[in-house]
Structures are given as structure tokens and as C-alpha cells.
Amino acid sequence: MGVDLSVEVLGLKFKNPLVLASGPAGFGFELQQYLDISKVGAITLKTVTLNPREGNAPPRLVDTHGGIINSIGLQNPGIEEFVNIIAPKLKEIRTIKIGSIAGFTIEEWKILGEKMDKIKDIKAIELDLSCPNVEGKKIWAKDEELTQEAIKAARESTDKPIIAKLAPDVTDIVKVAKKAVNAGADALSLGNTIEAMRINIETGLPVLKLKTGGLSGPSIKPITLARVFRVAEALEIPIIGIGGVMNWQDALEYAMAGASLVGIGTAIMVNPQAPLEILQGIESFLRQKGVEKFEDIIGIAHRGGF
């Protein structure tokens, strides 16, 4: 008998818990040549800002033990082009689409929320409160008051489910998460990359042009996993667990810690087919364990395990 991998959350039925995390999958158009996106639960599209952004000068990426550090810098065509050119083509991407926006002011959160709200193909909106790679701009999620203000502004602009993407590198994630929920977030993405850097010892200079970037990959998984666990323990709110999921075991750990959905970012960059391998692994593990529904293992670590 087949295992039921579907997850019902945010008023949506996801065919399985895997979400292509915002960023490395772009808007899905290039990726779908290499991965059947209809096989994954959802895609969170690349973050869109009010104005077009070129992104940072290269190098934008460097690897490190157990991970990679990126400083892409929210390269995107801006909301107008997104609405007029990208959005009409989104029906080609045959899974649930979650839009992602990043405002630089309270006003921008409102405008971006309103614009996304009108796109039929977008089923939920993720607020990118935590991108570490924009020079001179504040990181909303590093401050609980700012987090609250941004979410409130976006909340007023849309009735679609709102997912707040928080930063893992804060002193008290539960405190920020509570503020986010009180401000009207329907779900939380935990988390984002963690500020990091490398220095080229030959030149004595930072490797990345932006100097610092965000660390992702297996080295951050235990850190974000603990954040997911803490928030799931304290709050009743759906969580998308994101951070260093490279294989099916990683995905299961997030689910057991309390994540309803699991994001994949770095693993798609390494191997665009990775989500399919992860899904197979999850399915066969659950079958062996005699678990009929994936939803039964969500948060099992808080309920005494198997």
C-alpha cells in the first residue's frame, strides 16, 4: 500500500511536504527543464522587490566545509515585470506557487503584498524578512519589532496566507516567532542562510565582493533544526523547515522536529534531481516504519517519538 505523503496546511493541499525554497529554483522556468516540478509539493518563487535589482557584483558564491556562502543580493526583475511578464507564465509550473516578496520600507511591503494578492496563480505569500545579502539594508527578522511592523503591513494588503521567513541567527527565535504570529503570519519559514564569510589568505581580502554572505548547506542543518524544534514546542503554527536538507534523512528530521513542510535550496543547486530522490527515500522509510501518512510524523519528537 502506498504511503500518503500529502500535507494539508494553510488551507492548501500539498501533494507532498517538499517545497523548493526561494532562491536557487528561480521562478522555476529553467529548473523545469531538469526537474519535473509537478512532482514536488510547492515552489517558493525567487524573491521580488519593488524595483528591479541587478544583484551584487561577482564573486557571489564561495564554498566552505559543509556548505556554501552566497551573496546573490536579490537579483530580480522587480514587481512590475513580475506581474506583467512572469506571472502570466506561471501556469507552466505545475505545482503550488508561493510568491516571495521583500520590502525595504513598510510602504513597500504593502505595495508588494497588494500586487501579489492579485495574481491568481500565487496561493500564498512568503515575506523574505531575512535575506542577509543586501548592502546597507536592515534585516527585518533580526529585530522583533521590525518583524512585527513588516508583517502587519503585508497582512493588511492580502487575504492570501502569509508565511514569514525568519532569520535563524537571532538571540531568541521563539520571541521573534511569537511576534510574527501575533502580527498575522499564517506560517513561518525557519529559516534563512546564516551570515558568514571567507577570506582569501593570498590577497588578504574577503572572497565575496559583498564581503559577507549567507551560509547554507549541511553545516547549518543542526542549527536551524533546533530553531524549528523550539518554535514548534512553543507555538501552534505551521512551519516550513529550511536549512541544509540534502537527503531524505534530513527532511525527516525537520518533519519530526515539527515542520509540516520541508524546503530544499542548496541541494537543488548541487543536483536538480535531488527532490525526487528525497521523496523516494521518505516514502520507503515511512513504509518500512509502517507509517501510513506523512502527517503522522510531523512533530513526533515532541510526542515521545515512535
Partner 1 sequence: MIEAELIEKRTAKDYGLFKFKLKEKLKDPDAGQFVMLKSPDEPILAKPFSIYSYKNRKLTLFIKRVGRLTGKIFSSPIGEVFYVRGPYGIPYIKKIDRDKKYILIGGGSGVAPLNFFSELYPELVYKKLYGFKGRYIRELFEEQSSLVIEEESGKTVVDVLREVYSEGLGVLACGPIPMLKTLPPGSYVSLESVMGCGIGTCKSCAVKTKEGIKMVCKDGPLFRKEEIQWEWI
Catalytic residues: 131
Decide if residue 263 touches partner 1 (CB under 8 A): no
Q: Looking at beta carbons only, is 269 or 300 nearer to partner 1?
A: 269
CB of 151 to partner 1, least distance (A): 26
First-residue to last-residue Cα distance in the chain: 20
Decide if residue 93 touches partner 1 (CB under 8 A): no
- Give CA–CA dist 106/48, Å, rounded: 15
Which amino acid is present at 285?
F
The stretch among 6-14, 52-60, 86-94, 139-147 that binds partner 1 (CB under 8 A) is 52-60
Dihedral (CA of 156, 130, 115, 109) sign: positive
Burial class of 42 by CB neighbour count within 10 A (0 to 12, 13 to 18, 19+) = buried
Q: Looking at beta carbons only, is 65 or 120 nearer to partner 1?
A: 65
The stretch among 54-62, 91-99, 162-170, 180-188 that binds partner 1 (CB under 8 A) is 54-62
Instruction: Please give the residues from 20 up to 49 whose contact with partner 1 meets the rule CB under 8 A.
Output: 23-26, 30-31, 33-34, 46
Decide if residue 61 touches partner 1 (CB under 8 A): yes
Instruction: For residue 44, list its beta bridge partners.
Output: 98
Decide if residue 103 touches partner 1 (CB under 8 A): no
Among 4, 6, 12, 55, binds partner 1 (CB under 8 A): 55
CB of 111 to partner 1, least distance (A): 23
CB of 232 to partner 1, least distance (A): 27
Torsion region of 190: left, alpha or beta (phi above 0 gives left; psi -120 to 50 gives alpha): beta
Instruction: Please give the residues from 146 up to 205 whose contact with partner 1 meets the rule CB under 8 A.
Output: none
Cell numbers for 45: 518563487
The stretch among 162-170, 247-255, 266-274, 283-291 that binds partner 1 (CB under 8 A) is 266-274
Q: Dihedrals φ, ψ of 13, to 5°?
A: -105, 110
Q: Looking at beta carbons only, is 182 or 273 nearer to partner 1?
A: 273
The stretch among 144-152, 185-193, 227-235, 265-273 that binds partner 1 (CB under 8 A) is 265-273
CB of 54 to partner 1, least distance (A): 5
- Give CA–CA dist 127/176, Å, rounded: 14
CB of 6 to partner 1, least distance (A): 26
Among 123, 266, 275, 297, binds partner 1 (CB under 8 A): 266
Among 12, 15, 39, 59, binds partner 1 (CB under 8 A): 59
Residues near partner 1 (CB under 8 A): 23-26, 30-31, 33-34, 46, 54-55, 57-63, 65-68, 70, 72, 75, 217-218, 246, 266, 268-273
